[in-house]
Amino acid sequence: MRVFLQGLLFGVAYIAPIGMQNLFVVSTAIEQPLKRALQVALIVIFFDTSLSLACFYGVGKLLQTTPWLELAVLLVGSLLVFYIGWGLVRQKAVEMGTMATSFSYKATVVTAFSVAWLNPQALIDGSVLLGAFRVSLPSELTHFFMLGVIIASIIWFIGLTGLISKFKHLMQPKVLLWVNRICGVVIILYGVKLLATFATKI
């Protein structure tokens, strides 16, 4: 139980800071109905937990030891992240007001995958942090720790979606538009940062 709680607390602390996944979930909860926003949250949870499991078992180390793969992920990731952010910045106030923004599950899956798996910093940081925990735990207890991490992801993203969806009616469409635009700018900055990291590694 102690190891499970350790994993749960680590999971919340790891995903709670504002990052691309949280911004994507917040943006979706603002512009889509609750049912659809929860579906998107489940897609994000899938990629977040799969990333955590991969980091726990050493994929981040693969990036560190394979320079060309790290460069490829940095380049593709930075361009996709920039594209996602630019889409948010360019949204129209009318779309936000009517809650009828165009929606595509295919685009959602690609975006959810991108903000998780195409973020080299998340892969490397995740592998270092989760790897450190894995080494510190008895092998027979590691699955309890990862169960805690996965449950934390489910609680966080479902809770965040529900909270934003519940209170978005208190905000004017213009405010919602600017929230989305700010999210878009932050995501673009992530993309620029990834591109700068790519440039320094060439």
What pLDDT is stored for residue 163 in this prediction? 92
Contact 156, 10 (CB under 8 A): no
Residue 12 has pLDDT above 90, yes or no: no
What pLDDT is stored for residue 39 in this prediction? 94
Pairwise CA distance, residues 62 & 149, whole Å: 22
What secondary structure, in 3-state letters, does 6-26 show? HHHHHHHHHHCCCCHHHHHHH
Ranges of each domain in the chain? 2-201
pLDDT digits over 39-98, tens only? Answer: 999 999 999 999 988 888 776 567 667 788 778 877 877 787 787 778 778 876 544 443
What pLDDT is stored for residue 83 in this prediction? 79
Other beta carbons within 10 Å of 44: 29
Pairwise CA distance, residues 88 & 117, whole Å: 20
Pairwise CA distance, residues 40 & 87, whole Å: 17
Pairwise CA distance, residues 191 & 24, whole Å: 14
What secondary structure, in 3-state letters, does the chain show? CHHHHHHHHHHHHHHCCCCHHHHHHHHHHHHCCHHHHHHHHHHHHHHHHHHHHHHHCCHHHHHHHCHHHHHHHHHHHHHHHHHHHHHHHCCCHHHHHHCCCCCCHHHHHHHHHHHHHCCHHHHHHHHHHHHHHHHHCCHHHHHHHHHHHHHHHHHHHHHHHHHHHHHHHHCCHHHHHHHHHHHHHHHHHHHHHHHHHHHHHC
Residue 129 has pLDDT above 90, yes or no: no
Contact 85, 184 (CB under 8 A): yes
Contact 157, 41 (CB under 8 A): yes
pLDDT digits over 149-175, tens only? Answer: 999 999 999 999 999 888 877 766 677
